Amino acid sequence: MTLSLLRFTTILLAALLSGLAFAHVLEQPAKMQYDAALYITLQRSLYVQWGPPHLGGFLEPLTIATTGLLAFFIRSNKHDLWLSVGALSLLLLAFPVVFFWLVAPANAVFLAAMLPNIPLDWSDLRSNWETGQAIRFALQFAALALLVLSLLLAANDTSDRIRQA
């Protein structure tokens, strides 16, 4: 029962996390048309709630931690283990790799920008931020898919054992 609760919690956290990233992807076409002042204003106001010390800032590390715990506790089942390790690897690519490579540098500049002074490279930073968020969504969604597949395979194994008994 405890393993089922961990699996359930991990999948819910991964779904919430990929939902946050999907919101960025849905916003991207409109935001790429905004002028610098509006774009930076949004970055400084709207997305502050998505990082620490707010809930959004704890969701990603918590999802990574529960995915790692799940992989540890199901290590005796090779299919579940590899799917969970695959999900964990994708989450670790999304954060910290892609986040600190593309997103964090842009965040730092946008949060420090004092309007009306616009950073000269703001459009490059915007492209990096938006691209980084799209890559992070793809990685997080793929991780969620692996976790759900693991659940489906585990449920199938259980029903096969029940039919054989």
Q: Tens digits of per-residue pLDDT, 19-52?
A: 999 999 999 999 999 999 999 999 998 888 888 8
Q: Where are the alpha helices (DSSP H) in 49-103?
A: 55-73, 78-92
Domain span including residue 149: 2-24+41-164
Q: Tens digits of per-residue pLDDT, 69-87?
A: 999 999 999 989 999 999 9
pLDDT of residue 160: 58
pLDDT of 88 higher than 80: yes
Cα–Cα distance measured from residue 86 to residue 126, given in angstroms and rounded to the nearest whole number: 30
pLDDT of residue 154: 82
Q: Report the domain count for the chain.
A: 1
Determine, yes or no, domain membership for 98: yes
Length of the chain: 165
Span 115-142, mean pLDDT? Answer: 97
pLDDT of 144 higher than 90: yes
Span 59-67, mean pLDDT? Answer: 97
Determine, yes or no, domain membership for 17: yes
Please state, in angstroms and as integers, the Cα–Cα distance from residue 54 to each residue in 42, 49, 65, 71, following that order: 17, 6, 18, 27
66 Cβ neighbours under 8 A, 6+ residues apart? 6, 9, 10, 13
pLDDT of 145 higher than 90: yes
pLDDT confidence band for 165 (50 / 70 / 90): low
Determine, yes or no, domain membership for 34: no
pLDDT confidence band for 137 (50 / 70 / 90): very high
Determine, yes or no, domain membership for 35: no
Query: What share of the chain in percent tops pLDDT 70?
Result: 93
Determine, yes or no, domain membership for 131: yes
Determine, yes or no, domain membership for 68: yes
